[in-house]
Amino acid sequence: MSVTADDLVSRHQPTLDDALAAIRTRGYFSAYAESPSPRVYGETAAAEGRAAYDAWLGADFPVETPGATGRVATERSPYGPELGVRYPRVLADPAALDTLLAAAQEAMPAWREAGPAVRAAVCLEILARLHARIFELANAVQHTSGQAFVMAFQAGGAHALDRALEAVAYAHEEQTRTPATATWEKPAGKGEPLRMVKTFHVVPRGVALVIGCNTFPTWNSWPGLFASLATGNAVVVKPHPRAVLPLAITVQAARDVLAEQGFDPNLVTLAAEDSADRIAAALAVRPEIRVVDFTGSSEFGDWLEDNARQAVVFTEKSGVNTVVVDSTDDFAGMCRNLAFSLSLYSGQMCTAPQNVYVPREGIATEQGHKSFVEVGGGLAAAVDALLGDDAKAVEMLGAVVNPGVLERLDAAPGSGRVVLASRTIEHPAWPDATVRTPTIIALESSDTDVYTSECFGPVSYLIATDSTDASLDLFRDTVRAHGGMTAAVYSTDEKVIDAAERAAIEAGVALSVNLTGGVFVNQSAAFSDFHGTGANPAANAAFTDGAYVAGRFRIVQSRRHPAP
Amino acid sequence: MSVTADDLVSRHQPTLDDALAAIRTRGYFSAYAESPSPRVYGETAAAEGRAAYDAWLGADFPVETPGATGRVATERSPYGPELGVRYPRVLADPAALDTLLAAAQEAMPAWREAGPAVRAAVCLEILARLHARIFELANAVQHTSGQAFVMAFQAGGAHALDRALEAVAYAHEEQTRTPATATWEKPAGKGEPLRMVKTFHVVPRGVALVIGCNTFPTWNSWPGLFASLATGNAVVVKPHPRAVLPLAITVQAARDVLAEQGFDPNLVTLAAEDSADRIAAALAVRPEIRVVDFTGSSEFGDWLEDNARQAVVFTEKSGVNTVVVDSTDDFAGMCRNLAFSLSLYSGQMCTAPQNVYVPREGIATEQGHKSFVEVGGGLAAAVDALLGDDAKAVEMLGAVVNPGVLERLDAAPGSGRVVLASRTIEHPAWPDATVRTPTIIALESSDTDVYTSECFGPVSYLIATDSTDASLDLFRDTVRAHGGMTAAVYSTDEKVIDAAERAAIEAGVALSVNLTGGVFVNQSAAFSDFHGTGANPAANAAFTDGAYVAGRFRIVQSRRHPAP
């Protein structure tokens, strides 16, 4: 017996309601368990997910893309193996894009007519299918991004699902804040009132393009994908050539659910390419494309903002994440916490700290005064302690995602005094994996040419400043000019914390204060923490708020007098 | 005794609550009486308002603008007289703009810290002051736009106040949908939960620029002005050189209230210019300007969208408003209703109909079949009946706003067959007023070079099409390509109405159906009708919805563990 759209609405209403409540309170909420434990997901889930992943390797991935020509295989795991999965290839050829985009456009009217409630339910059903494939997805994320398995399961699976659900919830709220119909009755003195009945249609902007990244293929792409889909747009998904499989699985799940519900599966299409094809740029400026979501380099993000003028463009680009160290009453906790943030996924998170500002004269701690050199020593020792056991270290570090990261890491010692050298780790299970520990380089505050741009990867700078005031000025000015996704401050002085908060507001970046425990500056929790602010050059939008969804659709109204 | 911010919040809470309820239901609501009757506003209000207006004529307007140099007087009433009001002049000189924008920026931090509730209350107090000056404003709008007095009172006064209140309500809703603080508590199995307290700051984008227009100096400028101000931005108001006084009064009222409440009055500044100064373009691309609201030509609107890349740009530009006539069961009512829309303010509304598509074979009516020529005749007769008495006609037509309108009107007979000729009317009270009745020109559907661009003013086209289907296709394609603020359909066939509604959705334009009574296609009611859709080239935004306010501020959060 087939499941109707109404069935889906009923089935997913409780989850949607919970998500809607969560975005209003921004407290803790999660709809998808983050523990890969067999006690949560069952004894066989891990092996089945791994088998499902393995079955794709070296095979044609069964997804159809209108306009595609032949197939392309572009993925190699940062852990070593070629994936060899072959996807339909879309060429940057006007006729191919005509076909793809015409198919997307043709799919839209029925989806538009379905309305916000059905679209939300269909999106939640797609998320449910993805959740059922979370171990398969975790393997796919691991072997494209280089994330360690547990991180791939959490950030690439459970947390990405939460972010997608958050986007669907905001989209639903935004579309339904205007009622579908209204009655307008204007008093007319002693005469009959003027009466009109009005209908408000949610009209999608057009075809949306999602351009995925290498490091977080699901977490960074799903919010835009589901925000656009939930608001009635068709979505073309253009994955990073090194990280196709997680999004191919996504597109497959979406197309399955859409087709089952009688919608045209071309509402969600996969546009895979050879990295030389450059179809993202060709697609982004097509008149049919009215929304673009992008995560990646500032260079291409800025190009998109400048050139995809027919579209609303949401970008997350690069930036310089900052830690201001003023003082602490838990020196060990501070060093442990920062060491974790520097080490997790080898610093290959857009949220990982890079610039650690410390007064040249040192800082006050509960252990007494610590010199600048001692602060660096404490941090280096904490990293060493965290990563001392190679077998455990690889579960923290994951693998280096691409050769560019390795080049920057190798060049880093030339830029300053090495406080902590990077070392190479042999992965016990994956002999061809590229695994490196983070390096810490000490700089002077005058070395602006080094630290005012992003050095993506396991490189951080310990920067000697004249004072905490000077640190705060550098923080504000650097983030204003060069962007930043995160910032942190350590201080025992509430006045300094207030000043840091003002600097963060003026820089337009989220601030974490005195993290010494189990919360880390580079982690943002769906439904509670906003990811990015849209208020500095690192991103022009946030995951996820009203502004992130409001521009993806328009309201078109009609009005008439009621029948007498 | 001074009025505190808390007093203002209490005083205006009921109005704000009513407005918040109205934007959720989009039913009828108005907070400002639209009748200029002495029974509503008191016996002396009209004379006092006129005297207040007269007192400005030929005088220095008492408003200070940082960076201004000397004064400029640029206004001449479409009814004849020079206004001669002298305003501080802002030159397109980098040093002058530095001074102006620095003053605006310095004013912002305290306004940001005041929070959404106080900002909304201060905005509502400004609206209350403007409401108290509604007769003065009506005179100022009349003698800058050329609107007749009652229209200036309603559209330029009461309805503009309602639109401004609507913008403040959306701004308040949008800023408060994220709570100011939240507690996040993540379960941790058997251990202590992870706890964080979070603070969410509403952070304005920066300095906003409002660029006013000649025809609706208040109605079209206030929504953007108050949306930006309510969300924490400073606002520079750049009026059209021919329509400064209504916005000068606005800026004066805003600065008075801000100063009384201890805020820096430079949160709202007036940037008047000589029309040769071109300061709008110079201001719009300044890095300090982060929001631009513009009403005017497509040429400058497109330029702003292309060049003011550092800002969020909201534009209302030109378009081609359409009426599709298929059939009617009230031919006289249809003609009367359309005649009103063509005549009101001499067709100088961005919402006035221009293209009336009628099948070449004529239409069915309750009086039997009417040929294409008879439809034109009915419409012409209705205009003549409406405007037959010169003394009454001028109260409908107002005056021609500027020489460009007159030139287009004079050239119109050359473009087709004249169904109704324009005639000149002597204004009984203002001998130098330029008053013209509308002309109607019959065209063939092949005359696309004539009717696919806006002919702003009292010119409309009666266009013979092959069929209603052909009319709907022309409607959809023309609005998609050239934009439109309004559309209307007349039909007795629900299938045609459905098809028109689909065409309107695809064109992205609001549709009015079978208007034969006291509601007119060129009028939109605040709180219920959206003005513009943002879904076609005539405007990239709507008055007023979530998307109109969401991008004017960002959320910047901080988080820390709670004190143990």
* Tokens linked to A302: 């800025």
Q: Hey, of B20, B24, B25, B28, which one would you mutate to test binding to chain A, going by the most A CBs within 10 A of its CB?
A: B28
Closest residue by Cα to residue B478 from B357, B391, B305: B357
Residue A28 to residue B558, Cβ atoms within 8 A: no
Calculate the dihedral angle through the C-alpha atoms of B520, B522, B526, B530, rounding to the nearest 10 degrees.
Answer: 110
User: Kind of pairing, strands B487-490 and B322-325?
Assistant: parallel
Residue B295: cis peptide before it, omega within 30 degrees of 0: no
First to last CA, chain A: 44
Contact A526, A549 (CB under 8 A): no
B166 touches chain A (CB under 8 A): no
Distance CA B291, CA B548 (A): 11
**Predicted local distance difference test score (pLDDT) of residue B362:** 98
* Tokens linked to B416: 């087709």
* HSE-up (13 A, CA, CB side) for residue A481: 11
Mean pLDDT of A446-458: 95
Chain A positions touching B196 (Cβ under 8 A) are 519, 528
**Secondary structure of residue B492 in the 3-state scheme:** coil
Q: Is the ipTM of this complex over 0.90?
A: yes
Residue A533 to residue B546, Cβ atoms within 8 A: no
Q: Which amino acid is at B11?
A: R
Chain B positions touching A560 (Cβ under 8 A) are 512-515
**Predicted local distance difference test score (pLDDT) of residue A443:** 98
- Option in A194, A550, A559 nearest B529 (CB): A559
Q: Which amino acid is at A179?
A: P
Q: What percent of chain B has pLDDT over 90?
A: 98
Mean pLDDT of B75-89: 97
In Å, how far is A186's CA from the nearest CA of chain B?
6
Q: Which position has the token pair 């002309």?
A: B439
Mean pLDDT of A58-81: 97
Interface list for A 294-323 with B (CB within 8 A): 305-306, 309
Distance CA B197, CA A34 (A): 22
**Secondary structure of residue B517 in the 3-state scheme:** coil
Distance CA B351, CA B348 (A): 8
**Predicted local distance difference test score (pLDDT) of residue B188:** 87
Residue B546 to residue A174, Cβ atoms within 8 A: yes
Which three-class secondary structure string do you get for A245-283?
Answer: HHHHHHHHHHHHHHHHCCCCHHHEEECECCCCCCHHHHH
Residue B183 to residue A558, Cβ atoms within 8 A: no
A39 touches chain B (CB under 8 A): no
How many CB atoms are located within 10 Å of the residue A40 CB? Answer: 10
Beta bridge partners of B392: none
Instruction: Please determine, for residue A431, whether its predicted confidence score (pLDDT) is greater than 70.
Output: yes
Length of chain B: 564
* Nearby residues of B90 by Cβ (< 8 Å), 6 or more positions away: B65, B67, B68, B69, B96, B97, B100, B271, B272, B273, B277, B279
Closest residue by Cα to residue B508 from A176, A553, A233, A101: A553
- DSSP notation for A41-83: H-TTHHHHHHHHHHHHTTSB-----TT--SEE---B-TTS-B-
User: Kind of pairing, strands A322-325 and B194-204?
Assistant: unpaired
Distance CA B162, CA B33 (A): 10
**Predicted local distance difference test score (pLDDT) of residue A289:** 98
Chain B positions touching A194 (Cβ under 8 A) are 517-519
* Nearby residues of B108 by Cβ (< 8 Å), 6 or more positions away: B204, B206, B207, B232, B233, B234, B267
Calculate the dihedral angle through the C-alpha atoms of A377, A357, A406, A315, rounding to the nearest 10 degrees.
Answer: 150
How many CB atoms are located within 10 Å of the residue B61 CB? Answer: 19
Instruction: Please determine, for residue B564, whether its predicted confidence score (pLDDT) is greater than 80.
Output: no
Mean pLDDT of A222-247: 98
Banded pLDDT at A564 (limits 50, 70, 90) = confident
User: Kind of pairing, strands A511-513 and A487-490?
Assistant: parallel
In Å, how far is A389's CA from the nearest CA of chain B?
25
Q: What backbone phi and psi angles, to 5 degrees, belong to A387?
A: -110, 20
* Tokens linked to A97: 């894009």
What is chain B's mean pLDDT, rounded?
97
B190 touches chain A (CB under 8 A): no
Chain B positions touching A529 (Cβ under 8 A) are 198, 557, 559
Digit-coded pLDDT (tens) for B136-163: 999 999 999 999 999 999 999 999 999 9
Lowest mean pLDDT across A165-169, A189-193, A500-504, B528-532: A189-193
Q: What share of chain A is helix, strand, coil (3-state, %, to 5)?
A: 45, 20, 35
Banded pLDDT at B563 (limits 50, 70, 90) = confident
* Nearby residues of A392 by Cβ (< 8 Å), 6 or more positions away: none
Interface list for B 330-389 with A (CB within 8 A): none
Instruction: Please determine, for residue B227, whether its predicted confidence score (pLDDT) is greater than 60.
Output: yes
Q: What backbone phi and psi angles, to 5 degrees, belong to A552?
A: -85, -5
**Predicted local distance difference test score (pLDDT) of residue A1:** 54
Residue A511 to residue B555, Cβ atoms within 8 A: no
Residue A561 to residue B205, Cβ atoms within 8 A: no
**Secondary structure of residue B554 in the 3-state scheme:** strand
- DSSP notation for A390-424: HHHHHHHH----SHHHHHHHHHGGGGSEEEE---E
What is chain A's mean pLDDT, rounded?
97
A273 touches chain B (CB under 8 A): no
B505 touches chain A (CB under 8 A): yes
Please classify residue B109 by burial: count the beta carbons closer than 10 Å to its beta carbon, then call 0-12 exposed, 13-18 middle and 19+ buried: middle
In Å, how far is B197's CA from the nearest CA of chain A?
9
Contact A24, A18 (CB under 8 A): no
* Tokens linked to A219: 């977490």
Distance CA B424, CA B409 (A): 11
Overall pTM surpassing 0.95 (yes/no): yes
Q: Hey, of B178, B556, B560, which one would you mutate to test binding to chain A, going by the most A CBs within 10 A of its CB?
A: B556
In Å, how far is A191's CA from the nearest CA of chain B?
12
Closest-CA residue of B relative to A525 is B184
**Predicted local distance difference test score (pLDDT) of residue A354:** 97
Instruction: Please determine, for residue B1, whether its predicted confidence score (pLDDT) is greater than 70.
Output: no
